[in-house]
Amino acid sequence: MSHSVNIKTQFKNISNLLQQFEKQGWCIQMNQKCTTYPSDPRRDETHPYVAKNPKQGGYDIGINKDNEGNAYFICDFFDTSIQQQLGKNLQKIRQGYALDEIKSFMENEEMEYRIDTLESGELVVIAEK
């Protein structure tokens, strides 16, 4: 049986996080409910942000913040369109977020850096001041 799950994250910069979804073609709506399967008990929850799935009939991703300011997601991965578009466990979102945070830090610190992509898709960041 399908069900929605929480994914705990370390996302503190909500604007960067929302931009990552938009870069993947997902639009962001505020204070909305997620599209999910009809009998999902969490279907009627309103989330501060909802990443709307661009695929017709695809499930959405609710984005909430905990008491410490970390974002967490409410979604149902039974709808494989989420993984097909955003990678396993939202890899494209996580990687894009981390990369933008690293770039911002490097630029603020006036550091020179290079980012290499391995065959596995992993990134290697090389920086020096």
Task: Evaluate whether 46 touches 53 at the Cβ level (below 8 Å).
Answer: no
The pLDDT value given to residue 6: 54
* 27/15 Cα distance (integer angstroms): 13
**Could you tell me which residues come within 8 angstroms of residue 80 by beta carbon, excluding any fewer than 6 positions away?**
none
Dihedrals phi, psi of 82, to nearest 5 degrees: -65, -50
The pLDDT value given to residue 7: 47
Low-confidence ranges of the chain (pLDDT < 50): 1-2, 5, 7-9
Largest CA distance in the chain: 54
Kindly state the DSSP code that residue 54 receives in the 8-state scheme.
S
Tokens 């850096």: give the residue. 113
The pLDDT value given to residue 104: 94
The pLDDT value given to residue 78: 85
* Angstrom distances, CA of residue 35 to CA of 6, 42, 53: 16, 10, 9
Task: Name the domain count of the chain.
Answer: 1
Q: What pTM was estimated for this model as a whole?
A: 0.85
The pLDDT value given to residue 128: 80
- Tell me which residue range forms the domain holding 86: 5-128
